[in-house]
């Protein structure tokens, strides 16, 4: 039973732990603390609200108590993470400063600026984006994420073109969350070769990954770095 998918580029760069839990572990923090050999009190996560809000963790904040959709920390004894079930999880590691980030990028947060807000805060902390390694985790793929015209318009307004969308059924379109995230990260200064993109689709491979659109209302992957 595969419980974890590791973020290999981040681990190779020096992160102590980094990866994504499958549906067999989900966001069971007690079990994860055992698997990672980390005390439960060192694991921090958010009450996610599909916002652009970023929280810096300087001391433990517990699990799902503080509202927001991205976390950063430079603490060496902290594990931070976000929960997903189709949305795009993004993990960032700066091998120079040790700063880490975990981002929950659903379409609302992505369009709203959660990625830009995270990298802006990292820059304010002295992080150089060209030193960072990034991992894009399993999410709903561009062939399965069908949306209405209002979502397509939101992406057009953000990027100024239709490159994130392809034609769907009727007035609907398919959107690529990963393509959108890579564009934002590249503009911010992350090197293309430093971006790891896992191709697993939560909707196509629901037997392995939680998918809200497949009916997983409460089960979530936990996407973590520490």
DSSP letter, residue 139: B
71 touches 46 (CB < 8 A) = yes
Query: Which domains, from first to last, does the chain contain?
Result: 4-141+177-225 (3.60.140.10), 144-175 (no CATH)
Adjacency order of strands within the sheet including 18-21: 4-6, 18-21, 221-225, 79-84, 43-44
**Distance from C-alpha of 179 to C-alpha of 97, rounded to nearest angstrom:** 27
Please give the pLDDT value at position 63.
Answer: 98
Per DSSP bridges, beta strands 100-105 and 70-73 are: antiparallel
Q: Report pTM.
A: 0.97
Query: CA nearest 101: which of 188, 212, 213, 170?
Result: 188
Q: Can you tell me whether residue 141 is helix, strand or coil?
A: coil
Dihedral angle at the C-alpha atoms of 162, 165, 166, 167, nearest 10 degrees? -90
User: DSSP states of 2-62 as a string?
Assistant: --EEE-HHHHHHT-SSEEEE-TTTTT-HHHHHHHHT--GGGEE-EE--S-S-EEE-SS---
Please give the pLDDT value at position 1.
Answer: 73
Please give the pLDDT value at position 90.
Answer: 98
Give whole-number Cα distances, 132 to 50, 83, 185, 191, in Å.
24, 22, 10, 8
Per residue of the chain (226 residues), give pLDDT as tens.
Answer: 799 999 999 999 999 999 999 999 999 999 999 999 999 999 999 999 999 999 999 999 999 999 999 999 999 999 999 999 999 999 999 999 999 999 999 999 999 999 999 999 999 999 999 999 999 999 999 999 999 999 999 999 999 998 999 999 999 999 999 999 999 999 999 999 999 999 999 999 999 999 999 999 999 999 999 9
């Amino acid at each position: 039973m595969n419980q974890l998918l590791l973020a290999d580029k981040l681990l190779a760069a020096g992160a102590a732990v980094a990866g994504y839990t499958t549906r067999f572990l989900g966001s069971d923090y007690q079990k994860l603390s055992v698997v990672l050999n980390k005390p439960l009190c060192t694991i921090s996560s958010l009450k996610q609200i599909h916002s652009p809000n970023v929280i810096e963790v300087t001391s433990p904040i517990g699990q799902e108590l503080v509202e927001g959709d991205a976390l950063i920390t430079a603490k060496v004894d902290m594990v931070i993470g976000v929960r997903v079930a189709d949305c795009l999880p993004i993990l960032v590691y700066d091998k120079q400063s040790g700063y880490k980030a975990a981002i929950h990028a659903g379409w609302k947060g992505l369009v709203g600026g959660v990625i830009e807000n995270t990298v802006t805060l990292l820059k304010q902390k002295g992080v150089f984006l060209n030193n960072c390694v990034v991992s894009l985790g399993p999410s709903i793929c561009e062939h399965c994420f069908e949306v209405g015209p209002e979502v397509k318009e939101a992406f057009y307004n953000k990027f100024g073109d239709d490159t994130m969308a392809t034609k769907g059924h009727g007035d609907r379109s398919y959107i690529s969350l990963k393509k959108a995230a890579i564009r934002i990260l590249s503009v911010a200064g992350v090197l293309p070769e430093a971006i790891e993109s896992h191709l697993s689709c939560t909707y196509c491979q629901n037997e392995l990954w939680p998918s809200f659109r497949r009916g997983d209302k409460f089960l979530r992957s936990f996407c973590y770095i520490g």
